[in-house]
């Protein structure tokens, strides 16, 4: 959520920056409502002062025995109080409308973010390893999974519906190996504090993380309990310090969490989206940071490196892309995507999105820190990144490390978990 005071002081510049994300954005209705609210507040203040003076006059008239004049002033006071109540109600309505506009505005993009409304205008920052060129026509991960009995989408559909995966046999073992590897890696090598949070979040948690109100229809909702299935552990970790004031010495705070994640994923369902590419349920280890404003963009760079380190350990070819203004999540001020190469489709897919949300989420959740003893609290900056999600990683591993005879080599980093260097046949 943006700072209304900052918008009021510099509306043209803020609107210009917001239009780099959405050309339809206008701050005019917000500013008009804010101006109206402030005028009414001034009027109410004057009327309340008038009412106080009139009350004193009524008391004086009664002391002097001038009852008829006192009753006349009392009737005037009632009308004055009714007018004040009407204006207070209008202020409350305007404040609700102002807040509704504010919570729907996206974050301001950082000056280093390329300006474009096309996702194709992302900037490729760097690549790791050569793109794998298999000396044979690579099989699709679904074909490999069928040959080796790794996935069972038909039975998953029978249990839950389409786009829900079910891992079987060595597929289940590989999935658990990936989760445990990500978990161990970030606990031992990148120094994040491990958390196993609830999978469900209440409306306030979803609002703080910026899932509500914009993505109301995209998340799974349990109406009876007023709880949402988490679409990403970012939603949960973001709320760890909601309503708290942290000490500057504690920052940055670095957390990691494993959860299953649930998304409606109402996007395209074409041939390229088959299998594990786009599903309603997937597993992920999430990285999250609470930082000071001065360090947050440096911390974003280190967060990206932490996510990259996992891909490097898995010996996968990937690239880092800086997203343009029109392709970032609403809460983000700057986002890097990590994209792995999928041989059967000859294209890249995002497996981690690392973002600096500056104070956008902190304002929604009132998450602050005290720079020094006696100083006024300031809002923290929040950062998040997948470290990593498993589903597309499994696709990349199965397809990148397949052999001509259908065998799949296991990356060295996973061999201790799977106790094998090759996924055996069914």
263 in catalytic set: yes
In terms of Cα–Cα distance, which of 45, 47, 111, 33 is closest to 77?
A: 47
148 in catalytic set: no
| pLDDT tens sequence across 191-212 | 999 999 999 999 999 999 999 9
8 in catalytic set: no
375 in catalytic set: no
Q: Between helices 391-400 and 170-188, what is the axis angle to 10°?
A: 110
| Catalytic member of 21, 278, 319, 364 | 278
| pLDDT tens sequence across 343-382 | 999 999 999 999 999 999 999 999 999 999 999 999 999 9
pLDDT at 266: 61
221, two tokens? 């909702």
Q: Tell me, letter by letter, the H, E, C secondary structure of the chain.
A: CCCHHHHHHCHHHHHHHHHCCCCCCCCHHHHHHHHHHHHHHHHHHHHHHHHHHHHHHHHHHHHCCCHHHHHHHHHHHHHHHHHHHHHHHHHHHHHHHHHHHHHHCCCCCCCCCCCCCCHHHCEEEEEECCCCCCCCCCCCHHHHHHHHCCECHHHHHHHCCCCCCCECCHHHHHHHHHHHHHHHHHHHCCCCEEECCCCEECHHHHHHCCCCCCCCCCCCEEHHHCEEECCCHHHHHCCCCCCCEEEHHHCCEEEEEEEEEECCCCCCCCHHHCCCCCCCEEEEEEEEEEECCCCHHHHHHHHHHHHHHHHHHCCCCEEEEECCHHHCCCCCCEEEEEEEEECCCCEEEEEEEEEECCCHHHHHHCCEEECCCCCCCEECEEEEEEEEECHHHHHHHHHHCECCCCCEECCHHHHHHHCCCEECCC
| pLDDT tens sequence across 221-235 | 999 999 999 999 999
CATH class of 4-104: mainly alpha
- Cα 57 vs. chain centroid, distance in angstroms? 57
Work out the angle at residue 237's Cα, subtended by the Cα atoms of residues 232 and 239, and round it to the nearest 5 degrees.
115
| Catalytic member of 175, 332, 392, 399 | 392
Third-level CATH fold of 119-423: BirA Bifunctional Protein; domain 2 (3.30.930)
Domain boundaries, the chain: 4-104, 119-423
| Catalytic member of 352, 353, 355, 386 | 353
| pLDDT tens sequence across 243-287 | 999 999 999 999 999 999 999 976 555 667 899 999 999 999 999
347 in catalytic set: no
DSSP 325: G
176 or 424, greater pLDDT? 176
| Catalytic member of 50, 350, 378, 415 | 350
Q: Between helices 141-148 and 170-188, what is the axis angle to 10°?
A: 120
pLDDT at 217: 86
| pLDDT tens sequence across 90-115 | 999 999 999 999 999 999 999 999 99
| Catalytic member of 17, 73, 263, 368 | 263
User: Which pTM does this prediction carry?
Assistant: 0.94
pLDDT at 398: 98
SS3 call for 412: helix
């Amino acid at each position: 959520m943006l700072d209304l005071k900052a918008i009021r002081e510099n509306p043209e510049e803020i609107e210009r920056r917001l239009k780099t994300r959405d050309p339809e954005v206008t701050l005019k209705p917000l500013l008009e409502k804010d101006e109206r609210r402030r005028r009414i507040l001034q009027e109410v203040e004057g009327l309340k002062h008038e009412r106080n003076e009139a009350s004193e006059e009524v008391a004086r008239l009664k002391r002097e025995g001038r009852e008829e004049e006192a009753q006349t002033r009392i009737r005037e006071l009632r009308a004055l109080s009714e007018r004040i109540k009407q204006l207070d109600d209008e202020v409350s309505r305007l404040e609700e409308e102002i807040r509704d506009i504010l919570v729907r505005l996206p974050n301001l993009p950082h000056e280093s973010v390329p300006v474009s409304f096309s996702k194709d205008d992302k900037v490729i920052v760097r690549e790791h390893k050569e793109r794998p060129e298999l000396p044979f026509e690579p099989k699709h991960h679904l074909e490999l999974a069928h040959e080796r009995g790794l996935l069972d989408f038909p039975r998953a559909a029978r249990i839950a519906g389409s786009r829900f995966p079910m891992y079987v046999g060595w597929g289940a073992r590989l999935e658990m190996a990936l989760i445990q590897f990500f978990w161990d890696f970030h606990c031992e090598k990148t120094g994040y504090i491990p958390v196993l949070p609830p999978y469900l979040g209440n409306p306030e948690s979803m609002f703080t993380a910026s899932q509500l109100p914009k993505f109301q229809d995209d998340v799974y909702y349990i109406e009876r309990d007023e709880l949402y299935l988490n679409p990403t552990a970012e939603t949960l970790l973001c709320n760890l310090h909601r309503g708290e004031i942290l000490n500057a010495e504690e920052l940055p705070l670095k957390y990691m969490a494993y959860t299953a994640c649930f998304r409606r994923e109402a996007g395209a369902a074409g041939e390229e989206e088959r299998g594990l590419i786009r599903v309603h349920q997937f597993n992920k280890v999430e990285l999250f940071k609470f930082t000071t404003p001065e360090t947050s963009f440096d911390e974003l760079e280190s967060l990206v490196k932490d996510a990259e380190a996992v891909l490097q350990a898995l010996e996968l070819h990937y690239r880092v892309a800086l997203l343009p203004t029109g392709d970032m999540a609403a809460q983000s001020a700057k986002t890097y995507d990590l994209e792995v190469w999928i041989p059967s489709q000859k294209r890249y897919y995002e497996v981690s999105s690392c973002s600096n949300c500056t104070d956008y989420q902190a304002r929604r959740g009132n998450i602050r820190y005290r720079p020094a003893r006696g100083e006024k609290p300031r809002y923290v900056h929040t950062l998040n990144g997948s470290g990593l999600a498993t589903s597309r990683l499994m696709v990349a591993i199965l397809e990148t490390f397949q052999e001509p005879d259908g065998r799949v080599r296991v990356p060295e980093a996973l061999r201790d978990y799977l106790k094998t260097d090759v996924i055996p046949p069914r």
